[in-house]
Amino acid sequence: MTLKGIRLQDLAVRAEVFLEWKGEIILDSKLAKVLYEIEQRGSLLAACRVVGVPYARTWERLARVEEIFGKKLFEAKRGGPGGGGARLTELGKELLKLYLNAEAKLGTPSRSIAETKVTKSMPDLAVMGSNDPALEVLIGILKAKKPSLDVEVSWLGSAGGLAALMMGDAHVAGVHLLDPVTGKYNVPFLSRYWLEDKAVIVRGYQRELGLAFRHDTDVSGISDLLDRNLRLVNRNPGSGTRTLLDHLLRQAALDRGIDPADVPRLVRNYDREVKTHFEVAKEIATGAADVGMTVRYAAELYGLQFMRLVWEWYDLAILKEAMRRETIRELIKLLTSKEFMQAIKRMKGYRTTSETGKVMSD
């Protein structure tokens, strides 16, 4: 029997091992290869590029496994000007060993797990962190000037960007984290990721962050999320937007004599999460949600109402050793270029200041 010229007897049979927990896949061949390459190369980013899987999606999968076990699969190595890289923990090593033993026992070895060869496992420029439309524009301008530039961009949230910076997976992290104690943005967080001596904060630009909602929905403030059963579309944990929203919701709860721990239960659809500002706006515009926190630019692009809560700083955290790279110097220079200034003026809810492009930490 043939199907469009293909003979059934010519088809190859291939089996794959899956490690599962309560029906949920913990490890498959690709994730096992990622763990193997982390141990070989000391970098999650290099591992992802070798295996050919998206960095952000792999980050999420590994985080889910860590959540299930309550322990880390890999960790940053202390020391070294770039943060020391990454290595498997004992759990990561044991999980990989279990997988490889299962393959050997079943006779289904991953032929390429130790045979993958690449000519370039790291990009010219790796940008991680919080999703931001203006940063996409900035990177676009840089790539237009350097078409052959190999750029890796992953939206992991501000905390994820700093973690990637700590492990040496990123050269640049886009961040907008407010420290409620000092009232300062971003600089206080370097020490929390062992980066106080390894990275600097380059001042970026300000953007309007607030609540977006449809014209048929009346929203007066954060407290409405607790009081009116509005359907929230939330951002991913670790993002600066999620961090700020959680802070404001806790404050609103305390003002009402509500235990802040009850906020996730009281806010409808609190666990409905998306990764980008455009996804927040789209969810609201299509009626899948009633309200969400996003930047004005995304809200107006989707024809939504917008209530500003804060003008915040979106900055670039950059490894000190990367500051010597020509590509990084050009990226910083573009922050104050005429081309970027003109572009950001066309983006509602954004503005640069006299501090833009300046190093805010040593």
Determine the pLDDT at residue 84: 57
Q: What is the pLDDT of residue 8?
A: 79
Distance CA 272, CA 351 (A): 30
Number of H helices, E strands in the chain: 13, 17
d(CA 272, CA 314): 24
The single-letter code of the amino acid at 116 is T
Query: What are the distances in angstroms from CA 247 to CA 241, 293, 353?
Result: 10, 13, 26
**What tokens were used for 281?**
């706006």
Best CA proximity match to 212, nearest among 309, 131, 133, 136: 309
Beta bridge partners of 271: none
What are residue 289's DSSP bridge partners? Answer: none
The predicted structure's pLDDT at residue 115: 55
d(CA 213, CA 293): 9
Domains of the chain: 15-106 (1.10.10.10), 125-351 (3.40.190.290)
Q: State the pLDDT at residue 107.
A: 75
Along the chain (362 residues), what's the average pLDDT of each consecutive run of 10 residues?
69 83 92 92 91 91 93 75 73 94 78 53 90 95 95 92 92 94 93 91 97 96 94 92 94 94 95 94 97 97 96 96 94 96 95 94 55
What does the DSSP assignment read for 22-42?
A: TTEEEE-HHHHHHHHHHHHHS
221: left (phi over 0), alpha (psi -120 to 50) or beta: left
| pLDDT at 83 (0 to 100) | 45
pLDDT at 206: 97
